[in-house]
Amino acid sequence: MSSRPIYLDCHATTPVDERVLAAMLPFFTEHFGNPSSISHVYGWEAEAAVKQTREILAAAINATPEEIIFTSGATEANNLAIKGVAEAYFQKGQHIITVVTEHSAVLDPCKYLKTLGFEMTFLSVQKDGLIDLTELEKAFRPDTILVSVMAANNEIGVLQPLAEIGAMCRERNVLFHSDAAQAIGKIPLDVQALKIDLMSLTAHKVYGPKGIGALYVRRRNPRVQLAPQQHGGGHERGMRSGTLYTPQIVGFGKAVEIALQEQATETERLTQLRQRLWEQLSQLKGIHLNGHPTQRLPGNLNISVEGVDGSALLLGLQSVMAVSSGSACSSATTAPSHVLTALGHSEALAYASIRFGIGRFNTAEEIDKVAQHTIATIQSLRKQGSFAMHNR
């Protein structure tokens, strides 16, 4: 029986935890009611389950259950936050600030708004992937209505200084949105302490099902106005119409509940595995660590490799491990990662990059096997490259 590659692409998605699946299954068959049908027991059961997940998600980020709006995922949540604020506040201002290393689910809505007359400031990042707070301070204008900065980068795992950004936004009465798709359940999040007004979440990065996410929308101090982007039925306080997908919502709640219970021990374990992998890979010359060395997600390691072809590198690794060179949402494109080029890498070095996403079910033995195969592959490709150059 052939063995499957070791899965190390947990920033793209994660397997559904068996405990999450067990919680979801009854809501496909036994408790199948529509949570909006509140005139009978089937609807009451579904409504109670949805309410419980709202409470779990709210507690996870120090919000209230009424501030949790369910969506189909973080992409929809980002679109609802950015376009919804733009439409609701356009008379106040038409300037939005974001970062060049954001996910395309933030960058593309911003680019779309530019076609409607909105003005964008795309902040650069420093070599470690962090924004320069002085640059942010200079970017604010009297007509700035929104700042959108992700909590944890999906490629290089960098954790942006959310508390400082939130304080600067609140001081200027500017709304602050954060895409926390990669952060929920992995690092502590507190929308009150961080002064975040809108936060995008998703389940499938934290061992929950695909197809379900949420947007936190602040209700007071300040109360955030949001123009709905999907109409029909007035669900979710009128912000996002559509029948709620109860089994997915239940799975989302269970996934976050488990992640929070295990966060402290899992953070320590993943950090150790990441360091174990880096210590072995860094013995080779010409290996660059992408992103801040410590201010990053526990399970993220992103490297660029000198002297190899990027396509040949991934091809050489795929028999042993499932990894990627960048965002799963842009893996079909031929352009180098916009995140890595923003760090100052050449296109060739950006292409020759590996994103290791270490997760809940990875072991130290797997990490050692991955390290050994990666080192052997890099050495082999470099040898082939030198031989080809020598025989030209």
Q: What would the pLDDT profile of 188-245 be if each residue is shown by its tens digit?
A: 999 999 999 999 999 999 999 999 999 999 999 999 999 999 888 778 777 887 889 9
Flag whether pLDDT at 264 surpasses 90.
Answer: yes
Last residue of a domain, one of 257, 280, 306: 257
Triad 302, 74, 343: Cα angle to 5°: 30
In angstroms, the Cα distances linking 302 to 37, 298, 314, 343, 391 are 47, 12, 13, 12, 33
* 192-195 contact pairs (CB < 8 A, 24+): 192/62, 192/63, 193/62, 193/163, 194/162, 194/163, 194/166, 195/163, 195/166, 195/167, 195/169, 195/170
Higher-confidence residue of 25 and 38: namely: 25
Flag whether pLDDT at 77 surpasses 50.
Answer: yes
Helix axes 41-61, 246-281, angle to 10 degrees: 30
Mean pLDDT of the chain: 94
What is the pLDDT at residue 334? Answer: 65
Overall average pLDDT of the 367-392 stretch = 81
Q: Do 217 and 283 share a domain, yes or no?
A: no
**CATH number of the domain enclosing 106:** 3.40.640.10
Q: Do 183 and 288 share a domain, yes or no?
A: no
Q: Do 207 and 289 share a domain, yes or no?
A: no
What is the pLDDT at residue 69? Answer: 96
Q: How far apart are CA 138 and CA 148, in angstroms?
A: 16
Flag whether pLDDT at 85 surpasses 50.
Answer: yes
Burial of 356: CB neighbours in 10 Å, binned 0-12, 13-18, 19+ = buried
Flag whether pLDDT at 246 surpasses 90.
Answer: yes
Task: Give the pLDDT confidence of 372-383 residue by residue, as tens digits.
Answer: 999 999 999 999
Last residue of a domain, one of 257, 279, 302: 257
Last residue of a domain, one of 195, 229, 257: 257
Strands 300-305 and 353-357, how do they pair? antiparallel
Question: For residue 174, what are the domain limits?
Answer: 19-257
- pLDDT-derived band at 2, boundaries 50, 70, 90: low
Interacting residues of 376 by C-beta distance below 8 A, sequence separation 6+: none
What is the pLDDT at residue 62? Answer: 98
What is the pLDDT at residue 387? Answer: 41
What is the pLDDT at residue 143? Answer: 98
Strand runs labelled E in 266-311: 287-289, 300-305
**Where does residue 185 fall: left (phi above 0), alpha (psi -120 to 50 degrees), or beta otherwise?**
left
What is the pLDDT at residue 390? Answer: 41
Q: Do 373 and 225 share a domain, yes or no?
A: no
Flag whether pLDDT at 282 surpasses 90.
Answer: yes
% of the chain surpassing 90 pLDDT: 89
Among 101-110, 154-163, 331-340, where is mean pLDDT lowest? 331-340
Q: Do 220 and 291 share a domain, yes or no?
A: no
The answer to the question of residue 387 being in a domain is: no
Task: Give the pLDDT confidence of 43-60 residue by residue, as tens digits.
Answer: 999 999 999 999 999 999
Q: Do 251 and 267 share a domain, yes or no?
A: no
Structure-token pair, residue 193 = 């302490």
SS3 194: coil
pTM for the predicted model, two decimal places: 0.94
- pLDDT-derived band at 329, boundaries 50, 70, 90: low
The answer to the question of residue 390 being in a domain is: no
Q: Do 104 and 250 share a domain, yes or no?
A: yes
Flag whether pLDDT at 366 surpasses 60.
Answer: yes
Total of domains in the chain = 2
Flag whether pLDDT at 166 surpasses 70.
Answer: yes
Task: Give the pLDDT confidence of 335-347 residue by residue, as tens digits.
Answer: 789 999 999 999 9
Q: Do 184 and 314 share a domain, yes or no?
A: no
Q: Do 121 and 253 share a domain, yes or no?
A: yes
Q: Write down the residue that tokens 């010359």 correspond to.
A: 285
Flag whether pLDDT at 4 surpasses 60.
Answer: yes
Q: Are 87 and 93 in contact (CB under 8 A)?
A: no
Whether 169 is catalytic is no
Q: Do 282 and 339 share a domain, yes or no?
A: yes
Flag whether pLDDT at 151 surpasses 90.
Answer: yes
In angstroms, the Cα distances linking 328 to 107, 153, 355 are 15, 13, 10
